[in-house]
Amino acid sequence: MPVAVQRKGALIVRLLGRTVGRLDYSSHHNEMRFSYDPEYLADSMSMPLSRSLPLRSEPFDTETTTIFFENLLPPDQVRRRLGPILHVSRHNIFGFLEALGGDCAGAISLWPEDTPQEEESAARLEMLDEDAAGMVLKSLRKRPLYVNGVAGYRISGSGAQNKLIARIVDGRIALPLFGMPSTHIIKPPAEDYADSVFNEFFSMSLAARLGLKTAKCGLMRIKGDTYYWTERYDRESVGGEVRRLHQEDFCQALGVSGEMKYESEGGPSFASCMKAMQEMKFSLADRLAFIDRMIFNFLIGNADAHGKNSSILYRQNGGRALAPVYDVMSTLVYPSLSGDGAMSIGGAKRFADVRRENFALMAHEAGMRPALALGRLDAIASKILRHAEILAKELAAEWPSDVYAKIISVISSQLKQIAD
């Protein structure tokens, strides 16, 4: 019988451009281990990559390592499509990180240890005219994340929806190459969900009007088609230079595989997220903001607010904060999607079963006063419908869509549930 060839490899893991450790891989039993660099550990100012990867000298086992780093990648259904393009099997997490890890969520980048120095210093932007931008965006259906679309474009992003991770400069799309930080995420319309780009823009805009902190977003037309864009909240501009900010989603922080992101599968719950925030000494304002987004997601019918759709921002001074709201849309306007909430609300798994008292129980389970959650529920519920109707009228002129009325109908229905 032929003997299987074992492959070994390593990726240098960088945080904020600084080497923090290495990822070692062996195809034997598909083993992958992360270990911190001794010099990094010796610096008292060093921060861990994750709550689930505390600073220590011992390497982390394959399971712990894989869970964190796999969460930097697109989900399995996208990797199935990427595999034939990259010649990487869907279960080869290391292979995908090697191919896509030049610019990841947060401040992490991964480089093969034999990367030539000149390649790492070749970071630049490739500006696209409207024709080229339209071609790139259209190609996402067959080439997710535009992988292998141009030399030096090594960018990873989680989430099942097609997207281009790029920059928008003076209204034009630019591709960041050879490790240049991206600043924007651009989404084409989802094929199976009518007016998805208008849905997400409306939902995000409504959240902002209600006082929730959101990522900046908008709509843009390219070659007659409408696309949704959002600024990356894990990037900042300092003196004209784009810098990465470190972050991780709650699946990473709690050591949960992204393939098990729903609470019903063992993924993060409201209570487990709140407990982690308390242990990490989040401000009361951030913990209240997490309650607000649970309320908002219920009222607009967003049943997909799972553990990967809320994140933690890390500051270099050791501070932590709840990341702005992102990836929000009304899923209940699409009958084919589940009506089960990604996180239960006071024991109610189905949105149709949620009543006012469930929010009180939700707060109690997280060690907070029920009256606090009910007060915030009443405050948001009292104004959401009025703001939604005003927003729909404002958007109708430039960005007309039937989905606005459908979302307003969902909101009206949800309000009746908690009033009964």
Residue 340 annotated in active site: no
Q: Residue 101, CB half-sphere, CA atoms under 13 Å: how many? A: 25
Residues 162, 167, 168, 174, CA torsion sign: negative
Q: Cβ(34)–Cβ(53) under 8 Å?
A: yes
Q: Cβ(113)–Cβ(11) under 8 Å?
A: yes
Q: Cβ(341)–Cβ(350) under 8 Å?
A: yes
Q: Using CA atoms, how far apart are residues 169 and 290, in angstroms rounded to an integer? A: 32
Backbone angles phi, psi at 60, to 5 degrees: -85, 145
| Catalytic-labelled residue, pool 24, 103, 234, 304 | 304
Long-range contacts of 83-87 (CB under 8 A, 24+ apart): 85/143, 85/147, 85/148, 86/147, 86/148
3-state secondary structure the chain: CCCCCCCEEEEEEEECCEEEEEEEEECHHHEEEEEECHHHHHCCCCCCCECCECCCCCCCCHHHHHHHHHCCCCCHHHHHHHHHHHCCCCCCHHHHHHHHCCECCCCEEEEECCCCHHHHCCCEEEECCHHHHHHHHHHCCCCHHHCCCCCCCCECCCCCCCCEEEEEECCEEEEEECCCCCCEEEECCCCCCCCHHHHHHHHHHHHHHCCCCECCEEEEEECCEEEEEEECCCEEEECCEEEECEEEEHHHHCCCCHHHCCHHHCCCCHHHHHHHHHHCCCCHHHHHHHHHHHHHHHHHCCCCCCHHHCEEEECCCCCEEECCECCCCCCCCCCCCCCEEEEEECCEEEHHHCCHHHHHHHHHHCCCCHHHHHHHHHHHHHHHHHHHHHHHHHHHCCCCCCHHHHHHHHHHHHHHHHHC
Q: Cβ(45)–Cβ(16) under 8 Å?
A: no
Catalytic residues: 304
